[in-house]
Copies of this chain bind each other. A is one copy, B any other.
Amino acid sequence: MSAAARFSFNHATAKFWDQREAVEACARAGAGIGLWREPLQEMGVEATAKLVQDAGVEVTSLCRAGFFTDPTAAALEDNRRAIDEAAAVGAPTLVLVSGGIPENGTIDSAREGVKEALAQLAPYALERGVTLAIEPLHPMFASDRCVVTTLAEALDLAAPFAPEAVGVVVDTYHIWWDPQVWQGIARAGREGRIASFQFADWITPLPAGVLTGRGQLGDGCIDFKRYLAEVDAAGFTGPIEVELFNDALWARPGAEVFQETRAAFERVVA
């Protein structure tokens, strides 16, 4: 399959676009879609499942669960619900963002919490045919959003579990700076852990709060062809999601953002 044919549109790239319209646009373009739980829940699990099935669109992932550095019963219950949602809509992968440092905790204690949560959730996910995908986020999010910061760390967390139960997300935006990134991708492939492959570009200056500064593909410093080649060489040939959190994109009509993003994707992989 050509790289261009592997395009999947993550709904967060056009965050305020109606889920039905997004799915239908993906169907027309032959693209996959990465769904998000909030619009899914708003439409309903069954209705969303029917929507993607009727449209014939491949759901490449469901975003997002996790936030279990303090693995309370409520946090685990919400993650089990997310696994059920992923199974119901046919998403092979549930993306997990670990959460930040809990009140009165440290980054070390938070990392222990993640281990504990994964041990609780992995069997449940495996039974339902959903792979939990640990997403290392850029270290600028380490205190308030995700204590998992590198592919190596995510792979160490995944190691106790079967690859079908726990994998990792390779998202260019979060890992591009890592001097060990190529080794990390090769290891992720060797260990059969690449559960999701996502593109976003790195641009500066970063906006206040830094969450919504992800660049359109080609606007920043990331060498997507190199990532494509390294991930291919690591044996992953599945869908490539484009997920951009970007205030300027969010302010524009979803259909327009979809076309622009797809064109940008085709340019950077060509």
Contacts and interface: CB of A to CB of B under 8 A. Distances in A.
Interface in A106-150: 106-107, 111, 138-140, 142-144, 147, 149-150
B208 A177 contact: no
Contact of A209 (B107, B176, B206): B206
A206 B140 CA distance: 9
Nearest to A110: B221
Copies assembled: 2
A152 B140 contact: no
Given A138-B139, A210-B140, A179 B205 contact: no
Contacts of A221: 101, 106-107, 143
B150 A204 contact: no
A227 interface: no
A153 interface: yes
Interface string A168-208: 00000000111100000000000000000000001011111
A220 interface: yes
* 3 nearest A-B residue pairs (beta carbon): A142-B177, A140-B140, A208-B208
6 contacts: A139-B140, A140-B206, A142-B177, A143-B177, A149-B179, A205-B209
Interface of A: 101, 106-107, 111, 138-140, 142-144, 147, 149-150, 152-153, 176-179, 202, 204-210, 220-221, 223
